[in-house]
Amino acid sequence: MVSPVKRAFKYRFHPTDVQAAELSRTFGCVRMVYNLALAARTEAWVRRERVNYNATSAMLTAWKRTEELAFLNDVSSVPLQQTLRHLQAAFTNFFGKRAKYPRFKSRKRSRRSAEYTTSGFRFRDGRLTLAKMAEPLAIVWSRPLPEEAQPSTVTVSQDAAGRWFVSMLCDDPSVKSLPVTDAAVGVDVGLDHLLTLSTGEKVANPRHERRDRAALARAQRNLARKAPGDGSNRRKARRKVAKIHARIADRRRDGLHKLTTRLVRENQTIVIEDLTVRAMVKNRSLARAISDAAWSEFRSMLEYKAAWYGREVIAVDRFFPSSKLCSHCGKLAKSMPLHVRTWTCEGCGTTHDRDVNAAKNLKAAGLAVSVCGAGVRPQRRIPGGQPAAKQKTPRREP
């Protein structure tokens, strides 16, 4: 029997002044414990000694008994233990060469969050009460939890715009594999159009950042005029900039969720290109537009939703000449500058739309390697350790 998919349900909530103060203290203690444990492990690393989670947990107990760190007893111990587990996971990824060495958390730049396990909260009749709190959180239930769902983990956070969120991790039995179909589609991402499908359909690029660029520039100029420091006026100006950024990110995320859900529901196989977005944004002329398009976020959403619903995502090698290859006869054009949007094949005389032709070639290459098998490149992974997408290099003719 297949176990239900673990799924996080995120909601806004509005804390009382007492709850906000308690959570702010918890965030600060979580950050301090993480930094203290990281410093201890770094010192041990220099001395070539090994310190694991159990050792840092014992350190936490000792810290609580000191006079200068006695305030750690005023908040729930569960988030403090969880941040030590997160640090252990960070070191595991570092030693596994999957991440860089862990960094210290900054009071201004780090995410303000605290994670509670089942011993740190009570969830009854749709009311969530955290440890050290007398009243339940006033959650805005924008969508219902799965029937009879019991959260296994609750994460409370506050973003830069001052909004409070609670994320509940639950088993979701409604997520099941969709019926198998023969539909397959190639997807070419771009800037003029966000997506171009092998069917010829083009999805417009909404350019969310451009819509708010003028308002964002005004808010940033206003922030720049404020005196440095932690003054109230500077905090208000910083909060206004953060709200604009949050509005842009929310619209972008909503649009990508709708697109990826539609693609996964309609197609059994989805073929994309394995782009190196991190290297592409180094182009200062295109960095802003590429970041606004959020190609990496699009791919991540596509991969985990495909894993949920029994679909397949194939990532074709980035060096595959999808734009220069004629999808009709297979002749390779000599060059294809970015400004060329339509071109005519010298072999068969077919006139191609650059993006539609690329999407068709991606689809053909992805289906070919999935059937006959070609070189498989190292696969990206999603949380949980499962491969997220097949990255394959199309077989080329000798």
Q: What are the tens digits of pLDDT across the range 1-49?
A: 567 889 999 999 999 999 999 999 999 999 999 999 999 999 998 998 8
Residue of 22, 274, 303, 355 with catalytic role: 355
Q: Residue 210 forms beta bridges with which residues? A: none
pLDDT, position 235 = 92
| Distances, alpha carbon 361 to alpha carbons 93, 176, 188, 332, in Å | 36, 31, 10, 12
pLDDT, position 22 = 96
13 vs 278: which has the higher pLDDT: 13
| Distances, alpha carbon 270 to alpha carbons 26, 109, 312, 317, 370, in Å | 43, 37, 6, 14, 11
User: What's the whole-number mean pLDDT along residues 132-160?
Assistant: 94
DSSP codes of every residue in 168-228 = EEEEETT--PPPP---EEEEEE-SSEEEEETTS-EEE---HHHHTHHHHHHHHHHHHTSPS
User: What's the whole-number mean pLDDT along residues 116-134?
Assistant: 94
pLDDT, position 372 = 58
pLDDT, position 351 = 87
Asked if residue 397 has pLDDT above 50, the reply is no
pLDDT, position 387 = 47
- Encode pLDDT of 72-104 as tens digits: 999 999 999 999 999 999 999 999 999 999 999
Prediction pTM value: 0.85
**Cα dihedral: 280, 266, 261, 123 (round 10):** -140
Asked if residue 168 has pLDDT above 80, the reply is yes
pLDDT, position 58 = 96
pLDDT, position 333 = 85
Asked if residue 380 has pLDDT above 60, the reply is no
Query: Radius of gyration (Cα) for the chain, nearest Å?
Result: 25
- For the record, the structure tokens of 16 come out as 């009382």
Asked if residue 384 has pLDDT above 60, the reply is no
Q: Is 188 a catalytic residue?
A: yes
Helix axes 232-266, 295-309, angle to 10 degrees: 50
Residue of 115, 273, 292, 303 with catalytic role: 273
266 vs 332: which has the higher pLDDT: 266
In degrees and rounded to multiples of 5, residue 63 shows phi and psi of -65, -40
81 vs 372: which has the higher pLDDT: 81
- Provide the percentage of residues in the chain whose pLDDT is more than 70: 92
Confidence of residue 149 (pLDDT cuts 50, 70, 90): confident
* Rounded Cα–Cα distance for residues 105 and 34 (Å): 7
| Distances, alpha carbon 218 to alpha carbons 115, 215, 221, 237, in Å | 36, 5, 5, 10
Q: How many CB atoms are located within 10 Å of the residue 293 CB?
A: 25
pLDDT, position 321 = 87
pLDDT, position 396 = 39
Residue of 188, 209, 292, 303 with catalytic role: 188
Asked if residue 373 has pLDDT above 70, the reply is no
Select from 266, 251, 245, 269 the least CA-distant residue to 194: 251
